[in-house]
Chains A and B, each alone.
Chain A
Amino acid sequence: MASCKYDWPPAGQLGLIGKKTDRIDGPAKVSGRAKYSYDINRPGMLFGKMLTCPHAHAKVKSIDVSPALRHPGVKAALVIQDVGSEIQWAGDEVAAVAAVDFATAEDAVRLIKVEYDVLPHLVREENLSKDGDRAKSAGEQKVGDPDKAFADPEAVVSEGFYGAPVITHCCLETHGNVVEWGGPDSVLTYSSTQNVSGIPSQLGAALRAKKINVQDGNIETICQYIGGGFGSKFSIDRWGVVAAELSKQAGGKPVKLMLDRGEDLEVAGARPSYFGHVKASAAKDGSITAWHSETWGTGGPGPSGVPPVPYVLTGIPNIYKKHTSVSTNIGPARAWRAPNHPQACLMTLAALDDLAAKLNMDSMEFFKKNILLAPTYLVKTYQEEFDKAAELSEWSNRWHPRGDKTPGHLKRGLGVSFHTWGGRGHAGSCNVIVRPDGSVTVQSGTQDLGTGTRTVIAVVAAETFGLPVEAIQVEIGDSRYPFDGASGGSTTVGAASAWTRRGSVDALNQLFAAVAPSLGVQPNQLEARDGKVQVQGDSSKSLSWKDACAKLGAKTIHTMGKNPGPCELDSVGVGGVQVADVTVDTETGLVKINRLVAVQDCGLVIDKLTAESQVYGGLIMGVCYALFEEKIMDQTIGRMLNANMEFYKLAGIGDIGGELIVHMMTGPGYDNRGVIGLGEPPVISPGAAISNAVANAIGVRVSQLPLTPARVLAALAKGAVA
């Protein structure tokens, strides 16, 4: 028996949880029926378009939208940033129009007259000595006595420079909304958002600040499907507020205002860069003794974030670290899947992999030896995961000391990395409804980013009620449903599974109370399984689910499930280990992935299919930033040179390599921890693992991501073994 009434059923009794369940919204998506915000067409809808600033840093000297307003077909126009406003990045929005169709809006926006006073800008930060007073200390920290540790004549010391540039989110659905006024005091938004429940209050506050009076309760946000977010879509954003203003000006008509691809890449999300010099030392036996890092990065005009180094191995006895944040005129940073972790992981595990090479140690052995420096609660997980990853990657057969010595221009190498993430469920809630006809609905103002939220809710409810997944109707993506937190930081699956479980158990107990008299037992002697409500241990005394629900008479059961709440259903703190196996062509500099292995824990897995898809997705997104992605800024013109998808490169299906192996750590020691989020962890390690594999193959470190042919060839030419 469960010791706490909402507890997950014991492992042996799970019917659906932990198995593979097909996405319940899969048919809608594969058939094109799923309606994303970008797909919403409303009667009388206008199309919005914004005018953006071509300068990286400037002040608005004059601005006049009246020529746009006079253009035939234009129904509204407004100034976003008036005279005197200081623009901090190219692509920032200064004015907007709404017109009868998109082409007319594009024409009209070009009629707007703006003059700027152009100011000096900085858009490249990788050379800290040139960053001047744009560079500000973001703090330093000292543990133990690093100077003494490095001075130890017995110490083996390795030094190197490592870095990763700014990259973008590049969600395939750009940012934007369709907004309309249903009357003087009510607004409806179709938003491409990771934060359905949070958008109304953001929009309400922004509109009230502009003296447009509307109460949060009269704002409804809908997002049934979203084409990617990755941390960049928590906010209504300026363009959402602008759409509401344009709509108001046009008498409440719906306004669709989606960014175009160039705008999206330039302004709607950047992951901060991270560069740095690292010195690390170990004793001859391989025990790490000291860490010294001086790092910097940019997150645009605001702070860059401070990646947590040394990553995972926080117990290194002697540490000095210092970080500098460089303020630049690039688009602002947004949370990018596992904020700060991929950068910290690269900086730490590339530097320590170089130290292992200097020690002539097998890097897997080296990290296993030092894993006791990780937080205690993760040590056992990592130990088991290292072994699994070694097995799946055939590490002991395939690993060789640094530099593949086989003749020819194709060099093969292996690299390992590991990572951690929190992932506890956020605060949120749902309604569970059980009707006399036997139908079951779960409603929540949550969202499904493609992670499988709908499916997770259906699996948990179905498991609890002893019903098939198809019997559960899941309604999400509307702020009118009970509040749920934003989907960020891998917090959704923990929350959604917990509030569904609590709401469903309460509903089931109400049903048991209604059914018990007719079966002549107490409610607590009943159980729900295989589509029946039956007496525990006596399936001959049972009612079909439908007949059981009919006992409710005219009464429909409504319960509310909440998180946090009683009983430990979710948890926090996962570990993962990844291995990359690559071949580098030393003539062309091309890196080819032979195999990627991901071994990942996330506590109790709800749907193994969508969980594995998360890990595959993380690996592939990792290949993208390891090999291809970079927001290339031009210091002369102050603009992004590759604000399009030809030159802002993502991996294609042919770029991901031969074999992707995903192994979820499940069973005793994992399942009993409860549910933990999985969105972020698998994307953290690929950069470091692939960089380490390339170093292992060619014998030199390519210091910066992405590992483009040019960088690989330059590293080979320099021949500098880090």
Chain B
Amino acid sequence: MRKKREKKEAALALSRRDFLKGAGVTVSGGLLVGSSAAAAEAAVSENVVGPGPVPITLRINGENHRLSLEPRITLLDALRDHLNITGSKKVCDRATCGACTMLMDKKPVYACTVLAIEAEGHDITTIEGLAKDGQLSPVMEAFWKNDAQQCGFCTPGFVMACTAFLMKNSDPTLEEIEKGLGGNLCRCGTYAGIRRAALEAAKAMKGAQIHG
């Protein structure tokens, strides 16, 4: 759905702001997937916020952060630009590469394509939240030991995606890993290491509780 909305936006050659300006944004679930800005405008009533800054509380890695943000600001930009939480990377900014992967209520999301206001009331976990007190998580450890990184820019996204994947499937085959991590891209070519890391992390995590 999100992806569809993005495509729609691109087709209309509107910025996120133009779109939201025209449409208003409902704060209560079911964000805009309407067929046009006008239809969306007709569909909303009193629950309209923006386009100016609105108060938002984000729960990130177990801590509440109060912010004042325009509704068009993505979860990724809110963390990177407003909270200086920069482990998640901005690479494609269009739900293609997975570098911005975070967990929202333990499910992986592309934070570049989630609005910060959509994330309100949800538990957000970032890469920073997986390394408690500087201790590497089992997935991180496996990525390090298998050299599943070169420049490392895709790595936090892969670690998050891999963590979420292994929470769902603790005993994966190689094919399942390739499907499960197929939403992330690496330019340096570290996939061979990532395959080894994911298999090893699965072993290490068996029965162990994943924090975050």
Contacts and interface: CB of A to CB of B under 8 A. Distances in A.
B194 A172 contact: no
B144 A228 contact: no
A451 B94 contact: no
In the complex, which range does the number of interface residues on chain B fall in? 35 or more
Contact of B91 (A261, A449, A618, A621): A261
B155 A620 contact: no
Contacts of A26: 143-144, 147, 149
Which of B73, B144, B182 gathers the greatest number of chain A CB atoms within 10 Å?
B144
B121 interface: no
Contact of B92 (A47, A171, A617, A644): A644
Interface residues of A, number: 60
Contacts of B150: 449-451, 613-614, 617
Interface string B145-175: 1010111111110010000000000000000
Given A172-B99, A609-B147, A620-B192, A32 B131 contact: yes
Interface stretch (A34-42, A85-93, A687-695, A714-722): A34-42
Interface string B114-156: 0000000000001110110010100011011101011111111
B86 interface: yes
Given A27-B144, A644-B94, A646-B96, A654 B179 contact: yes
A656 interface: yes
Contacts of A261: 91-94
A261 B134 CA distance: 32
Given A31-B140, A170-B187, A23 B17 contact: no
A142 B17 CA distance: 61
B81 A41 contact: yes
Contact of A653 (B70, B151, B181, B187): B181
A353 to B, nearest CB: 24
Nearest to A659: B192
Which of B126, B134, B153 gathers the greatest number of chain A CB atoms within 10 Å?
B153
B91 A29 contact: no
Interface string A218-258: 00000001111010000000000000000000000000000
A106 interface: yes
A450 B92 contact: no
Contact of B147 (A613, A618, A621): A613
Nearest to B160: A32
A602 B50 CA distance: 59
B108 interface: no
Interface in A438-480: 449-451
Contacts of A32: 86-88, 126-128, 131, 156, 159
B36 interface: no
Given A227-B89, A450-B152, A653 B191 contact: yes
Contact of B190 (A174, A617, A624, A646): A617
B26 interface: no
Nearest to B156: A32
A228 B191 CA distance: 16
B16 to A, nearest CB: 8
B86 A39 contact: yes
Nearest to B130: A31
Interface string B45-57: 0000000000000
A653 B93 contact: no
A107 B149 contact: no
A33 interface: yes
B38 interface: no
Interface in A172-199: 172-174
B77 A31 contact: no
Contacts of B184: 652-653
21 contacts: A22-B144, A26-B143, A27-B144, A29-B155, A30-B149, A38-B89, A103-B73, A172-B187, A174-B91, A225-B151, A226-B151, A228-B187, A609-B147, A613-B147, A613-B193, A616-B193, A618-B189, A621-B188, A645-B96, A652-B191, A653-B177
Given A227-B152, A228-B188, 13 more contacts: A30-B136, A30-B152, A32-B87, A32-B88, A103-B72, A106-B17, A226-B151, A228-B151, A230-B187, A617-B188, A653-B177, A653-B194, A654-B182
Interface of A: 22-23, 25-27, 29-36, 38-39, 41, 47, 101-103, 106-107, 110, 170-174, 225-228, 230, 260-261, 449-451, 609-610, 612-614, 616-621, 624, 644-646, 650-654, 656, 660
